[in-house]
Chain A
Amino acid sequence: MEAGVVLKMQGICMTFPGVKALDHACLTLKKGEIRALMGENGAGKSTLIKCLTGVNKFEAGEIYLEGFNGPIVNKDTMDAQNKGIATVYQEVNLCPNLSVAENLYIGREPLTKIGTVNRKAMNRQAEELMKELELDIDVTRNLEDYSLALQQMIAIARAVDMDSKVLILDEPTSSLDDREVEKLFTMMRRLKAKGVGIIFVTHFLEQVYAVCDGITVLRNGQLVGEYNIEELPRVKLVAAMMGKDFDDLASIKQEGSGDKRKEPLVIEAKGLGHAGTIRPFDLDIHKGEVIGLTGLLGSGRSELARVIYGADRAQTGTLKVKGKEVKIKNPIDAMNLGMGLLPDDRKAEGIIGDLSVRENIILALQAKAGILKRIPMAKQIEIADKYIEMLQIKTASRETLIKQLSGGNQQKVILARWLATDPEFLILDEPTRGIDIGTKTEIQKLVLKLAAEGKSLIFISSEIEEMLRTCNRMAVLRDGAKVGEIEEADMNQMSVMKAIAGGDSNE
């Protein structure tokens, strides 16, 4: 292993049933380096980390760790910890009702001669550790007395005290505010000076540039590249994560679909927001308009749509539908106003797995009709058959359970569910994720057709081309807030990516 390298992962492969989660992924970490591990959801970040810590068993590849001759394999997290690889997760995995010192030494308490816990020694050691890390903490108080940031740091202190060479921080900042993040960074820099190699998983771009020395980017389980921080400005990082080579970004010519601004307004949102997921935003949508929501995963694009639909109840602001102010408490209220939502998590929020294709298709229509007005079986069959044919849903029969269908066909069934209600305003959240290219094109065509019929749509997709092809306007989201809009004339790959990346995009 090269001098100065503390950890080297090479050619790691791992398959989950039906999915190649990691395909020859690599990662190199130097001593005293903070390296960001970046990639969109599903890129394989967590899987790679889990392979390292022994949670997942990888099928091929090698892991080299400083001080070990030859490749190592960790049986479990305990084993990894003993070898010097410590992990701190997003949620603090400590006991809030125990003291700080107890938390620091749980499982490895200093003992007295007769085998009981030597509390004096434990508290003294804990105090020394806190002093060393320049944390102002009373180790005898309960963990829950301290802020989440400090708890996070205590978790890190615990990890560091176990003589770790490699420290993995898995999205440690997602529940911290700016001041707390800064504290955490100070601590990370201190550890770095001590020679600990840190792998930092985050989806906040600003933080990467604030604290990291290097970036490793994964996409679809493969290594995109390992960069020094100077080599990879924001826009290039976004391009790398999304799989676009920045130099080759040929802007797709887009057929002018006309200005829809003269059409009547369907949705007017003013200051709509939901604490913790999306900050208050304004959004107008006209009849026949397709609005794209763009931003990295976790930027709040799904959350914005969910607030309009009432899947998350709006806590602030007002919503007008076709000029009338409305209060939406539950999805059914939105549905009665002519809305529909195809959620991004098909399995958790879309399909009712144990019901048949027919039942899944008529579900929303039945909900609108009410419990007493059962849709007659003949009518159900008619509707199901109509959409199975129209969307070319590949199913053995209309009575096949939806869970037995492929992902793309499941998606079509959910789409059919909403089309059956004849909505005026449809939200499609990642309708094309995880489905084959042919179906993707069909869905995009369908979106354009619906818009031509005078329906309004919100279209959310991680694939910028798809949005460029379908949208009249785009709203840009970053870190849980709507930060701007892009007009049709200005929409191209580069402008969208720059908007997503934010900050000083010309660096």
Chain B
Amino acid sequence: MSSLKKITQKRLFLPIFSMILVMLINVIYDMACGNAPLTFFTVTIKNGVLYGRLIDIFNRGTEAAILAIGMTLVVSSSAGTDISVGSVMSLYGGMCCMLLAGYGNTNVSNYAVPLIIGIGAGLLTACVCGLFNGFLVAYMNIQPMVATLILWSAGRAIGLLLCNSQIVYVRVPSFQKIGGYVGFIPTPILIAAACILVASLVLKFTALGTYIQSVGINKKASRIAGFNSAKIILLCYVICGLCAGLAGMVATSRIYSADTNNIGLNMELDAILAVALGGNSLGGGKFNLAGSLIGAYTIQAIDTTLLALGVSTAQSPVFKAIVVILIVVIQSEPAKDFFKKLGKKKEMAKGAAQA
């Protein structure tokens, strides 16, 4: 009993529990279909690359996971969300493809400039977007939602302008590889792993985590203790912008084109949801990056599961909503209290029986 209690009180318990729940649905579905119960977890090599539903979740979940890293920091430091990340992803696509294809071209099979310049310019643009958001939030004291609303609406449009309102295709293998495979492993999985690794190392070996949480919990006290709260918040938004750029890089290369109308569409909501599912308070303060990442992959798992269950893409948001409601409610304080009381009652009943 006590060991079970210890496990349930761990911060990551509920996010992991939610993820397992989603996986369980898959297992039940597979059994119902007459497949082997563990079809979901089976990873095979097909056509020379890794194949399986699990691989698919990690592959497709890359964008949400990378965005969740930046979003977690933004939420923690400023108690607000950056809703421009989806648009910034699209803006990356516009910038990168416009440079690689040359302005005005819509379909090329050779780079106009080296690949690295295209990617670098795209990521730089994303960072500038973060800088803009951060400046408005940290120095102009504008509500994060309102400040980032500007690029939420303008970012995508600027991308469209850069591409002359066309879908720009860059049909060069090295460009496609970013959204494709390295050897038999999907490249996005490697990129996500690299981002997660870098983020964890930074949090481990610098005091960034302490700075961000301190500012997020008590801005005034942090200032008196010597932190420059505005700079920290600005930094978080720049990191968030960079993450949006990286996510944009993966999304753009997947379709080797700058489809600015669709890249990163509604991704900001997934990123915010990932942070919430990870057990982080959207009111800022303490954060748990691992929780957010689990949240991001859980969302993807829901999507993939629904697809496997044969729910049409038009209807899947309904089921997704139901699952999300369940997960969020389970993690809410009143629900936690309820379970606690339930546990106590059981214990008391047990005690009474023993007496």
Q: Which A residues are within 8 Å of any B CB, using their own CB?
A: 311, 330-332, 335, 341, 343, 348-355, 359, 363-364, 366-375, 417
Q: Provided the pairs A352-B218, A364-B225 are in contact, do residues A373 and B207 lie with their beta carbons within 8 angstroms? A: yes
CB contacts (< 8 Å) of B210 on chain A: these are 355, 359, 363, 366, 374
Of the listed residues B206, B210, B222, the one surrounded by the most CB atoms of chain A closer than 10 A to its CB is B210
Residue of B nearest to A334 (CB): B226
A332 and B207 alpha carbons, distance in the complex (Å):
16
B121 on the A face (CB < 8 A): no
A331 and B217 alpha carbons, distance in the complex (Å):
18
Is the pair A332, B226 in contact by a Cβ cutoff of 8 Å? yes
B223 on the A face (CB < 8 A): yes
CB contacts (< 8 Å) of B217 on chain A: these are 352-355
Q: Which B residues are within 8 Å of any A CB, using their own CB?
A: 205-208, 210-211, 213-214, 217-218, 220-228, 285-286
Cβ-neighbour of A364 out of B211, B226, B228 (below 8 A): B226
CB contacts (< 8 Å) of B286 on chain A: these are 354-355
A341 and B213 alpha carbons, distance in the complex (Å):
21
Residue of A nearest to B285 (CB): A354
Is the pair B228, A332 in contact by a Cβ cutoff of 8 Å? yes
CB B340 to nearest CB in A, in angstroms, measures 18
Is the pair A363, B225 in contact by a Cβ cutoff of 8 Å? yes
Residue of A nearest to B229 (CB): A330
Is the pair B218, A351 in contact by a Cβ cutoff of 8 Å? yes
Is the pair A348, B220 in contact by a Cβ cutoff of 8 Å? yes
Q: Provided the pairs A352-B217, A355-B217, A363-B214 are in contact, do residues A369 and B207 lie with their beta carbons within 8 angstroms? A: yes
Beyond contacts A331-B224, A374-B206: 13 other A-B pairs, Cβ-Cβ < 8 A, are A330-B223, A330-B228, A335-B226, A352-B214, A354-B285, A354-B286, A355-B210, A359-B214, A363-B214, A364-B226, A366-B207, A372-B206, A372-B207
CB contacts (< 8 Å) of B285 on chain A: these are 354
A-B pairs, top 7 by smallest CB distance, nearest first, are A367-B226, A332-B226, A374-B207, A335-B226, A363-B225, A354-B217, A364-B225
CB contacts (< 8 Å) of A351 on chain B: these are 218, 221
A350 and B222 alpha carbons, distance in the complex (Å):
8
CB contacts (< 8 Å) of A374 on chain B: these are 205-207, 210
Q: Provided the pairs A352-B221, A353-B217, A354-B286 are in contact, do residues A331 and B226 lie with their beta carbons within 8 angstroms? A: yes
Is the pair B223, A311 in contact by a Cβ cutoff of 8 Å? yes
A-B contact pairs, 10 of them (CB 8 A): A311-B223, A341-B224, A350-B221, A352-B222, A354-B213, A359-B214, A364-B225, A371-B207, A374-B206, A374-B210
A371 and B222 alpha carbons, distance in the complex (Å):
13
Is the pair A355, B214 in contact by a Cβ cutoff of 8 Å? yes
A359 and B286 alpha carbons, distance in the complex (Å):
12
A343 and B217 alpha carbons, distance in the complex (Å):
17
Residue of A nearest to B211 (CB): A371
CB A228 to nearest CB in B, in angstroms, measures 43
A369 and B217 alpha carbons, distance in the complex (Å):
21
Is the pair A367, B221 in contact by a Cβ cutoff of 8 Å? no
Cβ-neighbour of A331 out of B205, B208, B225 (below 8 A): B225
CB contacts (< 8 Å) of B221 on chain A: these are 343, 348-352
A354 and B205 alpha carbons, distance in the complex (Å):
21
CB contacts (< 8 Å) of B206 on chain A: these are 371-372, 374
CB contacts (< 8 Å) of B213 on chain A: these are 352, 354-355
CB contacts (< 8 Å) of A366 on chain B: these are 207, 210-211
Residue of A nearest to B231 (CB): A371
CB B290 to nearest CB in A, in angstroms, measures 18
A48 and B158 alpha carbons, distance in the complex (Å):
59
CB contacts (< 8 Å) of B208 on chain A: these are 371
Q: Provided the pairs A331-B225, A331-B226, A367-B226 are in contact, do residues A349 and B214 lie with their beta carbons within 8 angstroms? A: no
A129 and B217 alpha carbons, distance in the complex (Å):
50
Residue of A nearest to B215 (CB): A352
CB A381 to nearest CB in B, in angstroms, measures 14
Is the pair A368, B226 in contact by a Cβ cutoff of 8 Å? yes
Is the pair B225, A417 in contact by a Cβ cutoff of 8 Å? yes
CB contacts (< 8 Å) of A348 on chain B: these are 218, 220-221
Cβ-neighbour of A343 out of B211, B224, B227, B228 (below 8 A): B224
CB contacts (< 8 Å) of A370 on chain B: these are 207
CB B184 to nearest CB in A, in angstroms, measures 38
CB contacts (< 8 Å) of B225 on chain A: these are 331, 352, 363-364, 367, 417
CB A361 to nearest CB in B, in angstroms, measures 11
A353 and B217 alpha carbons, distance in the complex (Å):
7
A367 and B232 alpha carbons, distance in the complex (Å):
12
CB contacts (< 8 Å) of A335 on chain B: these are 226
Is the pair A349, B207 in contact by a Cβ cutoff of 8 Å? no
Q: Provided the pairs A354-B285, A354-B286 are in contact, do residues A375 and B223 lie with their beta carbons within 8 angstroms? A: no
CB contacts (< 8 Å) of A349 on chain B: these are 218, 220-221, 224
